[in-house]
Amino acid sequence: MATQYGFYANTNECMGCRMCIISCKDKNNLPVGEKFRRVYDYSGGSWSVDENGVMNATDLFSYAVTSGCHHCANPSCMEGCPVSAIQKREDGIVWIDQDLCVGCGYCVEACPFNAPYKSTTTYTSRKCDLCKDLIDNGEKPVCVQSCQIRCLEFGKLEDLKAAHPDAVDVIAPLPENPGTSPSTLYSRHRMNPEGKLKGETRNAPEEIISETFEETFV
Amino acid sequence: MANLLKKVEKFDMDRRAFVALSASLGATAALGLTGCDNVLAKTTKDSPTVETLSGGKWVTVACPQDGCNKSCLNQAYVVDGVVVRQRTDELVEDSPDNPQYRSCIKGRSIRKTVTSAERLKYPMKRKNWQPGGGANVNGHLRGIDDWERITWDEAIKYIADEYKRIMDTYGPRAFLATGQDERKMCGGKIGSGILNMLGGCLTTFGEQSDGGAPVPSNLMWGFYDSGDTNGLDKMGQRHTKLQVLWGFNSGWCDGAANQYDLLTAKKQAGTKVILIDVWFNPTAQSYVDQWIPIRPSTDGALMEAVAYELITNNLVDQDFLDRCTVGFDAEHMPADAKTNENFKDYILGAYDGKPKTPEWASPITGVPVATIKQLAQDMGTTKPMSLKAARGLTRQWYGNRVTQLFYTLGWMTGSLGVPGSDTAILTGTWGTKNGQPLVKRGKNSWKYPKNPACSEPRASDETTFGGFDASREYGIAFSEWHKAVVEGEYTLPNPRNEKRSCDIKCIMCENARNASNAQSGNYLTVEAYRKVEFVVHQEMFMKIGPMYSDIVLPVKCHPELEFALRNKQTNESLIMGTNAFPQFYETKDDIEIYFMLCDELGFGEDIAPRTSIKQNMFEQLGNATVIKENGEEYETLFTITQEDIDKYQVKFEPQEGRTSFAEFMETGIYRLERSPNDNYMNVPLKDFVADPEANPLETTSGKLEIYCQALADWYDLCQLHDIDPIPKYKAAVHGYEDKKNYPDYKFQLVTPHHLRQMHSVWANERSLNEVFPNDLLISTFDAEREGFKHGDWALVTGLDAGQIVRRIAVLPIIAPGVAILGEGNWRNVDQETGIDIGGNANTLTRPHLLGNGYQAYNTVLLKLEPYTGPTMLPDYQRPLYVPIAD
């Protein structure tokens, strides 16, 4: 393969503002409930308050992890697609051909990152296509172009690796050994520099899931 | 197969719905497209691509919110009058010195907001309300009544007739104008103009945003401009070696517009950043090196302990204090001092026998003694230091005292006058050279009549600037107005602190400001609105105010105006939005409504000149100036030709300026290029610090006043609150020390701005609701003790205030004992229980009256109980409120 495009996300600087999700929803006209990207708020640590009321935090950390499709080198979603709707381009972009997809949901189960989801509005599987239309036009993906902190970068994976030699392939809470060779690099957060501190993902359910619902009116 | 059938059925249904909607709109079919965004999304199988973005153009649109202190660049791609996509600043290369003005999640949601299914579409009248007062008002049905669609002519006539009747029957003091002092969603400051012409009305006074800061600032520094003068700019910040941030969360304020600049400054200068706050906030996550957790409203105690450490460890900048300040020690007392107390001796315990040691402060603040000592060591030895507080710090019970202490700490460390140092309580993130924008919008000719019955809103800023005239009518304090309407009296700021009676018959709110979501003590909303004879609101959405109104007028917002100019605190740019959206049903802008009322009531051009928004904006642009390269003088910004004037059909004279007006109108943005070596850097109070005698400040002594007699005198006059001439910490009512008196109230509430909404604007944007919940945040520490789990719903009671139901998020990054709820959720009162199921933070705050009328949004005691009522839906699934379906 000639190229593999990918992302670099600097969790050391990301403030979890959700811009990458919102600009993606705008670009892809996603209805309320559906999204191609998520921001996981991952935090840990414990507190003690002594008899004088003095507060002490131990091993406290908090960072945000933006995660969409990682356009893996070995995309497990693609391998089992019964209608070959999922394709990987020369530049590494993995995308779902909406005209071929029958919405069986195989890819939804196969992806370790929950990137594809079954849309209840199109009855197909949908996910990030790395804004291939914009990339073909010489532009950046909207999530990168709109990032207010400039902590989300796009480029050729080898270039990103060279620019950020300390970056890691996956970071908690993403699965540790996805087995798919994802193409997103992450920097670690300064409060958890080696990634040894364990925490919890503390999002609300609607931030993580992608599904629509029946509107109600009053 | 079943799936496929469902798919076809669904598509067909959506298509039919869409066609029906378009047909019902007749000639304005394009409107159907924008008004029905959801349907479109459902019928579009594939994501739109570059190919679908053809045949249209990118238009710069103004952000709809004036309440934010930034102005980012938002553009909309318009095809045949339909906005199909948005983008932010892609017009210039992005660089650290001149970053693109990238907008926040709210700016990116403009098209969703403007085309929301919940927009008010037509003028409406409450069904069981009839004009004329008396029983036909049926005030008890407000909030539960049905709506009738009426025409604009009918609505204007109802309003004009009721205004006249109430004015003739009861006089101007029967009117309360709650929304006229700001320009939240529209193009101009028109005031309570109509009521002023008819005889006047009562207005509101006090502070919302600035808390207790303005009066102490004006008297201790001689000015208050929310950090414009005493704050660094982005280039100056790059000289800072230590940033100490107090309750500062720029990542959530002003749309995060400057967080990247702060981060850049830190990286370039190798700055250490310390945050003192009740939570490890998103700004901290982005760039803070050390977080010092503290309890709400105890900041003053920590400041005193740091002062003690600075004094006793000889870390005070004595030269700065001696030259530039008065009142620090006995040798430098101001001439007008009425007591002998000085700050140093107070801190050392000379007056009360209690030295303000770290050991004293630690149990109050919760901060370990060693941490306090280390903070003082860092602050006393690292220069230049930048000491910044958000105004939220001063929105506590003793916001006045914490302001005094904060400034004093900055002055003790000499944190002024050299590049990289500032001491500021800031609106946004930056100050600017000489406190002036580098690009200034010009004056316009808009005017409206003055109010004969009361001061202009916010007491015309008289009280803010340390003035006070006991004989003047300042109106009703923001925090007290719901209570005043219900109880029929309000508190006067005067030496006798007396009450004055009021019998409000009409509440009017222009400019979609919706005072009832944003002001403390709003748990009395229902009683207040139901008591009067006539309520009228101009709004975009059915928030709590319009919901309890008799006449509701649907208004437009900035991106729907022909012209909307923004510059605010970015200070280096002018952004001009033009209308990207088609006429949305029957909405009108505030100015048009104002003119219609003038026409109906017979007020001509002599009293109310009918200057159009276009003319007004053109004047502001034509009169705009820009700083010259020398960094001192200003020059005319735009070259305007007769062709430009003819094109826009405005009155103006051709002129020469720095740049072409026509070119500006093509992109909608002018920006001043910055470089680290330009002449625009702000070194706060440079001249004063260099030679205080030659450059005196506008204080009594001409110096920075740690001992400030004028401040103590002002508070003696106003009698709304207490203060001392030297900074002294005092335990807050309903603060941490008070908690022991209310054993059930185990939490201290803080109510910051939430990034997903600007006050109540965007609070109904469901995609924002979906990806960014605004839950009640509590600490893992308390959740374990109180038995709450992440995602539980709680019944939340504010001490001596109202109740809300809210989902809980349990996070380790919240200090123990602290609860955080972003303000701005729409108050929504359950008619059976009286509980606010919308989760508005101000249902929990109290209608107290402090300082110059500021509000203690961040000093609230809270009780949390498990919620056991009917199932609650998260905000993004909340039923849509569409009063009249179309």
Say which CATH number the domain at A195 has: 3.30.70.20
d(CA A133, nearest CA chain B) in Å:
6
* Mean pLDDT for the stretch of residues B425-445: 86
* Mean pLDDT for the stretch of residues B854-864: 96
**Residue B380 in this model has a pLDDT that exceeds 80:** yes
**Residue B183 in this model has a pLDDT that exceeds 70:** no
**Sign of the torsion formed by the C-alpha atoms of B397, B400, B403 and B405:** negative
Residue B123 phi, psi dihedral angles, 5° rounding: -60, 140
Q: Is residue A31 part of a domain?
A: yes
Chain-wide mean pLDDT for chain A? 95
Q: Which of B255-259, B459-463, B672-676, B865-869 has the lowest mean pLDDT?
A: B459-463
**Residue B637 in this model has a pLDDT that exceeds 90:** yes
**For chain A, percent of residues with pLDDT exceeding 90:** 93
Strand-pair category, B625-627 with B634-636:
antiparallel
| B 498-527 residues with CB < 8 A to A | none
Q: Do B260 and A207 touch (CB under 8 A)?
A: no
Q: Do B876 and A32 touch (CB under 8 A)?
A: yes
**Residue B196 in this model has a pLDDT that exceeds 60:** yes
Residue B194 CA: distances (Å) to CA of A156, B245, B335, B546: 62, 44, 49, 19
DSSP-derived letter for residue B460 is G
* Mean pLDDT for the stretch of residues B849-872: 94
| Contacts with B10 from chain A: Cβ below 8 Å | 123
Q: Do B285 and A62 touch (CB under 8 A)?
A: yes
**How many A×B Cβ pairs under 8 Å?**
209
Q: Do B50 and A133 touch (CB under 8 A)?
A: yes
* pLDDT tier at B187, thresholds 50, 70, 90: very low
Q: Do A147 and B102 touch (CB under 8 A)?
A: yes
d(CA A117, nearest CA chain B) in Å:
14
A5 contacts B65 by C-beta, under 8 angstroms: no
* pLDDT tier at B179, thresholds 50, 70, 90: low
- Pick from B6, B105, B366: which is nearest to A17 by CB? B105
**For chain A, percent of residues with pLDDT exceeding 70:** 100
Q: Do A204 and B874 touch (CB under 8 A)?
A: yes
| Other C-beta atoms lying within 10 Å of the C-beta of residue B180 | 28
B847 contacts B203 by C-beta, under 8 angstroms: no
* Mean pLDDT for the stretch of residues B200-227: 92
Q: Do A17 and B104 touch (CB under 8 A)?
A: yes
d(CA B713, nearest CA chain A) in Å:
37
Alpha helices in B544-648 (DSSP H): 544-547, 590-601, 613-622, 642-648
Q: Do B879 and A217 touch (CB under 8 A)?
A: yes
- Pick from A29, A56, A121: which is nearest to B368 by CB? A56
* Mean pLDDT for the stretch of residues B607-631: 91
* Mean pLDDT for the stretch of residues B100-111: 94
- DSSP states along B131-163: SSSGGGG-GGGTTTS-EEE--HHHHHHHHHHHH
| Contacts with A124 from chain B: Cβ below 8 Å | 45
Half-sphere exposure of B721 (CA within 13 A, CB side): 25
Greatest alpha-carbon span in chain B:
92
| Contacts with B105 from chain A: Cβ below 8 Å | 17-19, 22
**Residue B791 in this model has a pLDDT that exceeds 60:** yes
Q: Which long-range contacts (CB under 8 A, 24 or more apart) does B53-57 make?
A: B53/B77, B53/B79, B53/B84, B53/B85, B54/B79, B55/B79, B55/B80, B56/B80, B56/B84
| Contacts with B287 from chain A: Cβ below 8 Å | 13
| Per-residue confidence (pLDDT) for residue B852, from 0 to 100 | 85
**Residue B39 in this model has a pLDDT that exceeds 80:** no
* pLDDT tier at B191, thresholds 50, 70, 90: low
CA-nearest residue of chain B to A192? Answer: B285
| Contacts with B874 from chain A: Cβ below 8 Å | 204-206
| B 328-367 residues with CB < 8 A to A | 362-364, 366-367
Among B59, B52, B56, which residue's Cα sits nearest to residue B76? B59
Chain-wide mean pLDDT for chain B? 89
Does pTM top 0.90 for this prediction?
A: yes
Q: Do B770 and A202 touch (CB under 8 A)?
A: no
| B 605-664 residues with CB < 8 A to A | none
- Pick from A63, A123, A148: which is nearest to B256 by CB? A148
| Contacts with A54 from chain B: Cβ below 8 Å | 362-363, 366-369
Is the minimum CB–CB distance between B292 and chain A shorter than 8 Å?
A: no
| Contacts with A41 from chain B: Cβ below 8 Å | 811
| Per-residue confidence (pLDDT) for residue B731, from 0 to 100 | 98
Q: Is residue A198 part of a domain?
A: yes
Q: Which of B50-64, B71-85, B404-418, B857-871 has the lowest mean pLDDT?
A: B50-64
d(CA B89, nearest CA chain A) in Å:
8
CA angle B485, B491, B495 (to 5 degrees): 165
| Contacts with A22 from chain B: Cβ below 8 Å | 105, 108-109, 767-768, 771
| Per-residue confidence (pLDDT) for residue B567, from 0 to 100 | 64
Q: Do A32 and B755 touch (CB under 8 A)?
A: no
**Residue B192 in this model has a pLDDT that exceeds 80:** no
- Residue pLDDT, tens place only, A120-158: 889 999 999 999 999 999 999 999 999 999 999 999 999
| A 30-89 residues with CB < 8 A to B | 30-33, 35, 39, 41, 43-47, 49, 52-57, 60, 62-64
B540 against A66, higher pLDDT:
A66
Burial of B881 (0-12, 13-18, 19+ CB in 10 A): middle
Is the minimum CB–CB distance between A138 and chain B shorter than 8 Å?
A: no
d(CA A177, nearest CA chain B) in Å:
26
Q: Which of A66, A121, A124 to mutate to test the interface with B (most CBs of B within 10 A)?
A: A121
CA-nearest residue of chain B to A16? Answer: B282
Q: Do B47 and A129 touch (CB under 8 A)?
A: yes
- Pick from A14, A22, A55: which is nearest to B286 by CB? A14
| B 730-789 residues with CB < 8 A to A | 755-756, 766-768, 770-773, 775, 779-781
Q: Is residue A91 part of a domain?
A: no
Q: Do A215 and B41 touch (CB under 8 A)?
A: no
Q: Is residue A195 part of a domain?
A: yes
| B 6-65 residues with CB < 8 A to A | 6-7, 10, 38, 40-42, 44-51
| Per-residue confidence (pLDDT) for residue B9, from 0 to 100 | 39
Torsion of CA B653, B657, B663, B664, to 10 degrees: -90
**Residue B30 in this model has a pLDDT that exceeds 50:** no
| Per-residue confidence (pLDDT) for residue B569, from 0 to 100 | 54
Q: Do B767 and A22 touch (CB under 8 A)?
A: yes
Question: H or E segment at B262?
Answer: helix B259-269
- Residue pLDDT, tens place only, B486-499: 999 999 887 677 89
Radius of gyration of chain B, Cα coordinates, nearest whole angstrom = 27
SS3 content of chain B, % helix, strand, coil (to 5): 35, 15, 50
* Mean pLDDT for the stretch of residues A96-119: 96
d(CA A191, nearest CA chain B) in Å:
9
Q: Is residue A181 part of a domain?
A: yes
| B 250-279 residues with CB < 8 A to A | 251, 256-257, 259-260, 263
- Report how far residue B524's alpha carbon sits from residue B513's, in angstroms, rounded to the nearest whole number: 18
Q: Is residue A102 part of a domain?
A: no
B275 contacts B281 by C-beta, under 8 angstroms: yes
Burial of B609 (0-12, 13-18, 19+ CB in 10 A): middle
Q: Which of A171-185, B360-374, B554-568 has the lowest mean pLDDT?
A: B554-568
* pLDDT tier at B564, thresholds 50, 70, 90: confident
Q: Do B105 and A18 touch (CB under 8 A)?
A: yes
* Mean pLDDT for the stretch of residues B530-556: 93
* pLDDT tier at B47, thresholds 50, 70, 90: low
B115 contacts B34 by C-beta, under 8 angstroms: yes
**For chain B, percent of residues with pLDDT exceeding 90:** 73
The 3-class SS string of B364-409 reads: HHCCCHHHHHHHHHHHHHCCCEEEEEEHHHHCCCCHHHHHHHHHHH
| Per-residue confidence (pLDDT) for residue B162, from 0 to 100 | 97
* Mean pLDDT for the stretch of residues B275-298: 97
| Per-residue confidence (pLDDT) for residue B8, from 0 to 100 | 34
Is the minimum CB–CB distance between A18 and chain B shorter than 8 Å?
A: yes
| Other C-beta atoms lying within 10 Å of the C-beta of residue B440 | 18
| Per-residue confidence (pLDDT) for residue B634, from 0 to 100 | 97
Range of A157's domain? 5-45+60-72+129-208
* pLDDT tier at B49, thresholds 50, 70, 90: low
**Residue B48 in this model has a pLDDT that exceeds 90:** no
Structural domain count of chain A: 1
